[in-house]
Structure formats: C-alpha cells, structure tokens
C-alpha cells in the first residue's frame, strides 16, 4: 500500500492515533498536514516526520470555521492539493447524564461533529475539483455500541457514521469515497485520562476498569494499538478504486462484530 506523493490532512495528529496515522502515511510516501489545537506538539510531530517536504504543522481548532478553512488553504498552498482527509480530532468526557454539564455536551459534540463537518466541507471543495479524494472519519466501537456515562461520545460517534454514509453518496459522482474506522480501546492519552475518571464514577478500581469495562468484551483482553489503526487508515487511503465506500471498519479485538 503506497501513497506516492498523495497529500493528507490529519486532524488531532499531534498525539495518539492521529500521530501514528501521519507517521504511517509519510512512511508510505505521502505528505501530511498535522492539524491540531496544540501547535507546539504539531510542530514537534512534523519535525520528527521529515520537516517541510513531507510534513507540516497546521494550527487548527476544528470547531472554528475560519481556522479550518485557513488550515486547509495552508495545506493546499504547501503541497498543491489535498487528496485525503482523516477527521480524527476528538476528546472524551464521561458523566452520568443527570450530572452531565450542558457545556461539556456541547464541547464534545462540537469537536467530533462540527469538526468533521467543517473539515469535510473545506476539503471536498478541492477534491471535487480534481475529481478524486478520500474521506476517513475516526469513529469508535461507540459508533455501533453504547456504554453508560458516555451519552455525548456515543451520540457523536453514531453521528459520524451518518456523515460517512452521506458523504459516500454525495461524493460518489466526484470520485470521492468515504469510510469510517471504528477502534476499540487504544491506549492513548485520551484513554489514560478515562481510567481514573471511570473508576471514580463506577466506584471500582482502575484495574477493574481496564479488565472489565475496557477489555471485558474483547476476544483476547488486548488493547488495540495505534499501529493497528494506522494500517487500516493506510489501506483505506491507498485503496485503488472507489468500490470500498460508505463502510465502517471495526478494529477492536472482536469487542464488537458486525
């Protein structure tokens, strides 16, 4: 699977899953814009991945239309085009719904859903002109399953499944395909933060959160790795035809099977 100079914009790529996808894309011959709220971390990631030729850092809050539009234009100015969008930036906030602050609900939905909408809108403008493009959304097992305490996250991740399928239909006549990757638990800063929070909310030990809540339904009690997700993201980006579109690919050690 090769990217041969293809240009990808990956949001939330200064950390975790997005960072690993950016690394894998550069290894496969792609050029990557590392778009993140955390500009210092994005710059460090871009430097590590090869500097100006293969990777650039782009300051972007995915919830802000002007920043998204400016970041996509920066990418196109630097690399001449945008072939692949990986809409990956995300956060997690857990509370029982009766205690869920409305501000946290709105913040989470904005990052996942407004972010996916705004980046898609800005990128397809360029993709439609060139008659090709790849949209990849970062969903979750929670695009298909629900868990207690995660009303906002489950709602957002189910929403992304809808956007994926809509974009498969809208993008088809422009040569643009759209798919969603749905990981199980991946040990990144996002998950590390949740372990003590869930232990507190559920009144159990952190060890039980990992064994029973996070890995309880997997077939082998293993965390999914960032490298597993990056391989699937490469497969979707480098796939030769538009046969594979509108699909949801679960990468979860069998936690959820469709």
Binding footprint of ligand NAD on the chain (CB under 6 A): 11-12, 14-18, 36-38, 60-63, 88-91, 111, 138, 140, 183, 185-186, 188-191
Q: Is residue 137 annotated as a catalytic residue, yes or no?
A: no
36 or 83: CB nearest ligand NAD = 36
Least distance from C-beta 6 to ligand NAD, angstroms? 21
Least distance from C-beta 96 to ligand NAD, angstroms? 20
Listed residue (94, 38, 85) closest to 46, CA to CA: 38
Listed residue (128, 236, 130, 203) closest to 172, CA to CA: 128
Of 25, 128, 137, 153, which is the active-site residue?
153
35 or 134: CB nearest ligand NAD = 35
Helix axes 115-130, 151-171, angle to 10 degrees: 10
Least distance from C-beta 115 to ligand NAD, angstroms? 6
Least distance from C-beta 59 to ligand NAD, angstroms? 9
59 or 172: CB nearest ligand NAD = 59
14 or 238: CB nearest ligand NAD = 14
Q: Which residue has the tokens 């360029």?
A: 126
Strand order in the sheet with 31-36: 55-59, 31-36, 7-11, 84-87, 133-138, 176-183, 248-251
Listed residue (109, 214, 93) closest to 155, CA to CA: 109
DSSP 186: B
Catalytic site residues? 153
């Amino acid at each position: 699977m090769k990217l041969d100079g293809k240009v990808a914009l990956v949001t939330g790529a200064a950390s975790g899953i997005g960072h690993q996808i950016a690394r894998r894309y550069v290894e496969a011959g792609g050029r990557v814009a590392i778009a993140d709220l955390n500009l210092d971390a994005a710059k460090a990631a871009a430097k590590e991945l090869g500097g100006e030729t293969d990777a650039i850092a782009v300051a972007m809050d995915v919830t802000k239309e002007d920043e998204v539009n400016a970041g996509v234009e920066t990418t196109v100015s630097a690399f001449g085009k945008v072939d692949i969008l990986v809409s990956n930036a995300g956060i997690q906030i857990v509370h029982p719904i009766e205690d869920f602050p409305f501000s946290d609900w709105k913040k989470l939905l904005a990052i996942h859903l407004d972010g996916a909408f705004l980046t898609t809108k800005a990128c397809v403008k360029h993709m439609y002109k060139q008659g090709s493009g790849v949209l990849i959304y970062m969903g979750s097992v929670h695009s298909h399953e629900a868990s207690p305490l995660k009303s906002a996250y489950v709602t957002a991740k189910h929403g992304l499944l809808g956007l994926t399928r809509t974009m498969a239909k809208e993008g088809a006549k422009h040569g643009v395909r759209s798919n969603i990757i749905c990981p199980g638990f991946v040990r990144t800063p996002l998950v590390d933060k949740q372990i003590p929070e869930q232990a507190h909310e559920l009144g159990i030990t952190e060890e039980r959160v990992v064994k029973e809540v996070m890995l309880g339904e997997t077939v082998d009690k293993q965390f999914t790795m960032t490298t597993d997700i990056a391989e699937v993201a490469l497969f979707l980006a480098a796939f030769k035809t538009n046969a594979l579109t509108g699909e949801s690919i679960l990468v979860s050690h069998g936690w959820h099977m469709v």
